[in-house]
Every structure is written in C-alpha cells, then in structure tokens.
C-alpha cells in the first residue's frame, strides 16, 4: 500500500469517525428534546452504530409517536412489532422434542438482565421504528408491557399505517391496542387459538419430529487421490 | 413533506367527478369478492369490496393464504439456514432478500465482507431488482388489457435469470449470500455475458416505453388514478418506487448505504410528482434503466481479492440487536435481529415492503371504480410472499 493510499484510508476513517460523532451528538440532542416533551415517560436510551433506541413508559407510547411525527418530522412509519423476552421453555428447540410433546416443561421466568438495547423490565416489549425521510434520522422505540395487562395505546390515530402492524402484534403476541379501529386476525384463520410468536407457543413440527442434526456443516471428505471410494 | 399542486388538482378533479356520478345515479350497494387470486397471480390475495354501482365504498384485503410463519421458523434455525427461508419472501428478487439479513448478522458479529464480495453482492442485488421489475413492466400492461408486453418481459427477464443462475446455481432461489462474503466466485466469462444481458434489458425498456408508456389507452387508465399524496404514503409506510412516484426523494441505496457499494458508482434516484398509477409505472421503468447502468459500472470495477472474510465454520452470533434495511426491488426491507449469543437468532422481525405498501389499499381504493382496482393494485406492485411472509 502506497503512502497516498494510507493517507486516503486514514482520511476516510477520520470522516467516518466524524460522521459517527456528529450522529451521536444529534441523537443526544433529540433525546434531550424528547425528555423535555415526555418528562419521566422516557425510561432509557441507547445508541449503537448510528441507531438510536429509546424506551418509554407504556402511557407515553402514543405521545412519543405524536411528538416524533408532529414536532420532529418523523413522517415515515417503518414497522411495529413486539419481542417476547422469555427464554424458550422448550430448550434450544434442537434437542429431542418428541418426549416433551404431551408434557411440556413449565415456562420459566426470564432473567431481567437478558433484555437487549435500552433494557427492559418485563417479558413483553413493544418494538417500533420511525424514520425522518428528509434528514435520514431514525428511532427505534420500545415500551415495556406488564405481563398481566398486555395493552398499549394505539398508534393508528397518528400513523394510519400502524393498523395492520398492530393487528399482527395482537394476533402473534396477544397485545391489545386501545383505540385501534378493529383488532381481528390478519394472517391466521378466525378460529385460531393461541399467539404463535410467544416463546411458550410450541412449534409443533419441532415437537413431533426430532431435528435431524444440530450441526448443519459437514466438512468435505478428504481427497484420497481416487484410490478407494467412488470416482 | 407537502402535497404538490398537481397532486391536489388531480385528486380534487377525481373527487368532483365521483360526486357528480353519485348525484346522477342512485344505486344499490353490493359486495364483490375479488380473488383469492391476484389478478396477475403474484400469489393469492382476496379483496372484499363493497360497491355502490361501479364505485367502491370500502375495500378490505384479506390475507394469510400464504402465511408461512418465517419469523417463528427463523427462531429454530441457525443463521446460515435462515437464508433458505427468507429467499422465499419476495420470490422474484430472492437474492435481495438475503442481503439485509446477512448484513444484520455481520453487523452483530463485527465481520465485514471483503471488497470483492461487496461488489458482487451489489451486482447480484441489482440483477434481482432488474429480474423483479422487468416482470412488473410487462405485467402492468396486462392489467389494462394488453397481453403482448408480458411475453416480452418473460423473454428478456430470462437473460438476467440466466446470469443469476450462472453465478449462483439457482434461477429463483440463489441462497448464495454468506455471513462474511459469498459462496463462490464468479464463473469465467460472466462479466461479458452480463454486460450483454444489460444491453438487452435496456432495449426491452425502450420497447416497453414505445409499446406501453405512450399508449393512449394505458395513459387513460393510469393517469390520475390511485393518487397517493406524499404525506399519506409516508404515514402508511409506503416505500420504494411507490413513494418515489409521490415525489419523495428517498432511496436507501443513496441515503444510507450499508454494506453495499452503490455509493461507488454514478447513478440517479428518479421521482415523479404525480403519485398516480402512471407515475409508479414510470418510476419503475426509469429505475430498471438506472439499475442496468449501476450494474455496468460495477462490472468495470470488480476489485480482486478473496470473496470470504475469516468466519468460524460454526457461526455463533454475539448477543445484541441490529436492524438493517436495504432498498429492495419492492421497497424497504429490513430485518430486526435479536441475538442472545447462540447458534440461532432469538427473534427476527421481518419488515417486508409489500405488507406496508398494500396496507394503504383500504384508503386508496375508497371511491375508485371497479376496473381501476386492478390497475391500482398492479401499479402498487406487491408479491404475496412479501406480504404474508
């Protein structure tokens, strides 16, 4: 590598560092404004590789969307979903599952430390992403939901596109959205019972049939010069 | 983001015309069931439309005929195995589905693919866009009753599929992207052959322009039909050519390139101010041309070197969360990957473009006429696998 190349690489790295610093400063300023708007509603925030996570109280969930859309110009609704932080009660789902089919082990409580970016205190967590198309900023929003009261204010009045996403979250996780125009099944048949994306919902195909193999990487057989074996 | 004057005027004109019809004719309501066949069989979608005469009072899409539960299935598969599933989300541009997932896994593992792999990835990414959108360009004409262009589309798409097959081994489901690079290097002679294919696609675009775009019937059926104002489109999460046809200048390939090398070549993001069915068709036509230019430039400069970074044979992804989205043929596709440091992802949220693009239909189809349902759905361009996942 010549010296000019090295210099260019160093310049590019410095530019990237500078851009990352700037993004981090912008994210921090946004969080400060958000704290002003929501007060104690903002629980925690986290930045990593240019992505901003904010975790808010459930009661501030709708305010967050309104504030981001009306005051900050986050016009683009990206997606809304949820995460179930319960470790799978069926083990890693690759151990033999046949024996457990009729007698599944009891679900265990999740260790609170295992939640991801911006933390979390409860098993279910709402997850959504919004973008500001004009400036290229984006926010990933999270909110904890108490397990015995899985409901949250709906985003449909702010972002009409949240309609189908909330129907999906309702169907897959059993989360109710207050103010949603009509929570009904979107993918599954109407008589379907259970919430498939919950960790304690068994994947039947895996329960009744053993997984063929844990390791899917088979090393190539050693070449033996064609002395034995099929050519 | 504001609505342009042109959009407002065409929207008001359409509303006024509807109001006049409603005053003149008193009609009885009826329910029309459309589907569950997509008019162009991109899967099975059913639309229940309540009609007043020829006019739609309300339309409700019914989905789930193709729901395969990929988010659940991904939780019990190792990271390399997941790409086999997600290949089948948007089956006309399969390779593009793999890219954001692999990039998300690479981000968590802090691995970067070598430059050669990034360039070939970008080329294949754009080739799948061309293969995907080519079919749309022919298909859009079918929606208004012209049969011939779709045969041209199938004919010329084959040139691109042949190139994808030559490089990856699969016409539709390459399963070629790996964490840390690509499965194989390019075969000999591939670059020259791909360049020839790009020439054929450009000729196809010119042909479609002559045959379809200027056609009087096509214009009458698409101009001013299904107008989406920019702010409405954004709040429904519309992406890709659908939102660029409403005048929003936003393309992730240019605005936040991550892991792909679109910023290394010279190209242009096309937008159209009208937001109607015609605009969506027009933007896709320009984007196909632009994609051939991107591929041509990338072919000139594929750097030498390895195609795989050093990654362990058995891939364990460190705990963390990553969201990577790319500008796929149908719009923005993103994967939110939660890892707990295991062999399999803990949770994968798939943000597919068509799901959000189609969620605007209850709003958009209100007040249109029955034949326009077909052209509007056609112009939104969705793949059912991308809605149902």
Whether A216 and B344 lie within 8 Å, measured CB to CB: no
Spatial CA neighbour of B171 closest among B293, B260, B100, B87: B87
CB A99 within 8 A of CB A214: no
Instruction: Write the pLDDT tens digit of every residue in A178-230.
Output: 888 888 888 888 788 888 888 888 777 776 666 655 545 555 555 544 444 44
Beta partners for residue A125, in sequence order = A83, A144
Task: Output the pLDDT for position B127.
Answer: 92
Distances (CA, A) of B162 to A8, A188, B167, B197, B241: 39, 37, 9, 9, 25
Please check whether residue A186 lies inside any domain of the structure. yes
Is A78 close to B63, i.e. CB distance below 8 A? no
Nearest CB among B75, B237, B323 relative to A76 is that of: B237
Q: Are B333 and B129 in contact (CB under 8 A)?
A: no
Q: Do B75 and A159 touch (CB under 8 A)?
A: no
- Per-residue pLDDT of chain B (389 residues), as tens digits, is 456 777 777 777 877 777 676 666 666 678 888 777 665 556 677 888 888 878 888 888 888 888 888 888 888 888 888 888 888 888 888 899 989 999 999 988 888 889 999 999 999 999 999 999 998 888 888 888 888 888 888 888 899 999 999 998 888 888 888 888 888 888 888 999 999 999 999 999 998 888 888 888 888 888 888 899 988 999 898 998 999 999 888 888 888 878 888 888 888 899 998 888 899 999 999 999 999 999 999 998 888 888 888 888 778 888 888 889 899 998 899 999 988 877 888 889 999 898 999 899 889 888 888 888 888 888 888 888 888 88
Listed range (A4-13, A37-46, B21-30) with the worst mean pLDDT: A4-13
State whether residue B175 sits within 8 Å of chain A by CB.
Answer: no
Q: Which residues of A touch B67 (CB under 8 A)?
A: 187-188
Q: Which of residues 85-144 of A touch B (CB under 8 A)?
A: 87-88, 92-94, 114, 116-117, 127, 129, 133-134, 136, 140
A201 in a structural domain: yes
Whether residues A78 and B334 touch (CB distance < 8 A) is answered with: yes
Would you call B332 an interface residue with chain A, using a CB distance cutoff of 8 Å?
A: yes
Q: Which residues of B touch A203 (CB under 8 A)?
A: 72-73, 75-76
pLDDT in tens, A123-151: 888 889 988 888 878 889 888 888 888 88
Within-domain flag for A105: yes
Residues of B in Cβ contact (< 8 Å) with A211: 76
B336 close to A (CB below 8 A): yes
Six-digit token string for B130: 């061309």
HEC sequence for chain A: CCHHHHHHHHHHHHHHHHHHHHHHHHHHHHHHHHHHHHHHHEEEEEEECCEEEEEECHHHHHHHHHHHHHCCCCCEEEEEEEEECCCCCCCCCCCCCHHHCCCCCCCCCCCHHHCCCCCCCCCEEEEEEEEECCCCEEEEEEEEECCCCCEEECCCCCCCCHHHHHHHHHHHHCCEEECCCCCCCCCCCCCCCCCCCCCCCCCHHHHHCCCCCCCCCCCCCCCCCCCCCCC
pLDDT of res. B294: 92
Chain A 167-206, CB below 8 Å of chain B: which residues? 172, 185-189, 196-197, 201, 203, 206
Are B367 and B135 in contact by the 8 Å Cβ rule? The answer is no
- Domain topology for B78-360: Cytochrome-c3 Hydrogenase; chain B (1.10.645)
User: What is the predicted ipTM?
Assistant: 0.82
Q: What are phi and psi of B128, to 5 degrees?
A: -70, -30
The answer to whether the CB of B381 falls within 8 A of the CB of A186 is no
Q: What pLDDT was estimated at residue A97?
A: 46
Closest Cα partner for B334 from B75, B73, B103? B103
Which residues from chain B sit within 8 angstroms of residue A94, using beta carbons?
76
pLDDT at res. B292: 92
Please state, in angstroms and rounded to a whole number, the distance separating the CA atoms of residues B232 and B216: 29
Q: How far is the C-alpha of A135 from the C-alpha of A23, rounded, in Å?
A: 11
| B296 close to B198: Cβ distance less than 8 angstroms | yes
Q: Is residue A226 part of a domain?
A: no
Residue in chain A nearest B107 by alpha carbon: A49
* Tokens read off for B222: 């698409």
Instruction: Give me the DSSP letters along B247-315.
Output: T----HHHHS--SS-GGGS-------SS-SHHHHHHHHHHHHHHHHHHHHHHHHTPPPS-SB----SS-
Q: Does A220 fall in a domain?
A: no
Whole-number pLDDT of residue A229: 42
CB-CB contact of B325 with B334 (8 Å):
yes
Q: How far apart are CA B115 and CA B264, in angstroms?
A: 11
- Give the residue numbers spanning the domain of A201: 14-208
Domain count, chain A: 1
Predicted pLDDT at B78: 83
Closest to A91 measured CA to CA, from A83, A100, A82: A100
In the Cβ-directed half-sphere of A208, how many Cα atoms lie within 13 Å?
Answer: 3
> In DSSP terms, which residues pair with B87 in a beta bridge?
none
Residue A136 included in any domain: yes
Q: What is the mean pLDDT of residues A28-50?
A: 80
Burial string for B240-250 (b: 16+ CB within 10 Å, else e) reads bbbbbbbbbeb
Residue B218's pLDDT is: 86
Q: Which two tokens stand for residue B349?
A: 């949220």
- Give the per-residue pLDDT at A16: 64
């Amino acid at each position: 590598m010549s010296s000019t190349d090295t210099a260019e690489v160093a310049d590019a790295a410095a530019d990237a560092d500078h851009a990352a610093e700037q993004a981090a400063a912008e994210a921090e300023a946004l969080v400060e404004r958000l704290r002003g708007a929501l007060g104690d509603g903002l629980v925690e925030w986290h930045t990593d590789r240019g992505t901003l996570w904010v975790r808010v109280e459930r009661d501030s969930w709708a305010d967050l969307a309104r504030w981001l859309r009306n005051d900050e110009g986050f016009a683009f609704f990206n997606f809304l979903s949820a995460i179930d932080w319960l470790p799978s009660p069926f083990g890693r789902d690759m151990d033999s599952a046949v024996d457990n089919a009729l007698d599944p082990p009891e679900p265990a409580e999740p260790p609170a430390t295992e939640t991801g970016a911006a933390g979390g205190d409860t098993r279910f967590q709402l997850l959504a992403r919004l973008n500001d198309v004009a400036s290229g900023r984006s926010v990933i929003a999270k909110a904890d939901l108490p397990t015995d009261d899985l409901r949250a204010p709906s985003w449909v009045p702010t972002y009409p596109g949240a309609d189908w996403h909330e129907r999906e979250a309702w169907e897959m996780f059993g989360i109710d959205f207050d103010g949603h125009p009509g929570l009904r099944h979107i993918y599954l048949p109407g008589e379907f019972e259970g919430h498939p994306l919950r960790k304690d919902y068994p994947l039947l195909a895996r329960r009744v049939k053993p997984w063929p193999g844990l390791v899917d990487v088979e090393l190539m057989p050693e070449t033996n010069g064609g002395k034995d074996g099929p050519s | 983001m504001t609505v342009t004057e042109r959009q407002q005027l065409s929207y008001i004109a359409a509303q006024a015309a509807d109001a006049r019809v409603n005053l003149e004719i008193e009609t009885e309501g009826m329910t029309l069931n459309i589907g569950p066949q997509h008019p162009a069989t991109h899967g099975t979608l059913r639309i229940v439309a309540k009609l007043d005469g020829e006019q739609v009072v309300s339309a409700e899409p019914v989905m789930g005929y193709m729901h395969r539960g990929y988010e659940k299935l991904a939780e019990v598969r190792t990271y390399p195995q997941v790409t086999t599933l997600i290949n089948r989300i948007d089956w006309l541009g399969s390779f593009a589905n793999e890219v954001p997932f692999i990039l998300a896994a690479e981000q968590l593992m802090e691995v970067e693919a070598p430059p050669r792999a990034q360039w070939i990835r970008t080329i294949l990414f754009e080739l799948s866009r061309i293969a995907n959108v080519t079919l749309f360009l022919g298909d859009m004409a079918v929606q208004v009753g012209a049969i011939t262009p779709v045969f041209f589309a199938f004919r010329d798409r084959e040139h691109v599929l042949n190139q994808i097959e030559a490089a990856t081994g699969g016409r539709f489901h390459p399963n070629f992207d790996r964490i840390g690079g690509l499965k194989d290097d390019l075969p000999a002679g591939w670059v020259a052959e791909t360049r020839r294919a790009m020439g054929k696609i450009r000729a196809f675009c010119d042909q479609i322009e002559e045959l379809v775009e200027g056609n009087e019937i096509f214009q009458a059926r698409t101009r001013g039909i299904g107008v989406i104002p920019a702010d409405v489109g954004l709040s429904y999460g519309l992406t890709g050519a659908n939102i660029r046809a409403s005048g929003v200048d936003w393309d992730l390939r240019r605005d936040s390139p991550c892991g792909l090398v679109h910023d290394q070549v010279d190209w242009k993001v096309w937008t159209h101010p009208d937001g109607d069915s015609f605009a969506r068709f027009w933007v896709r036509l320009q984007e196909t041309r632009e994609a051939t230019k991107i591929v041509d430039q990338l072919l000139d400069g594929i750097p030498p070197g390895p195609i795989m970074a050093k990654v362990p044979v058995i891939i364990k992804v460190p705990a963390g969360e990553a969201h990577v989205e790319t500008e796929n043929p149908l719009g923005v596709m993103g994967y939110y990957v939660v890892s707990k440091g295991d062999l399999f992802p803990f949770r994968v949220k798939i943000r597919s473009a068509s799901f959000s693009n189609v969620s605007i239909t209850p709003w958009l189809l209100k007040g249109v006429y029955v034949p326009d349902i077909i052209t509007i759905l056609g112009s939104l361009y969705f793949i059912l696998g991308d809605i149902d996942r």
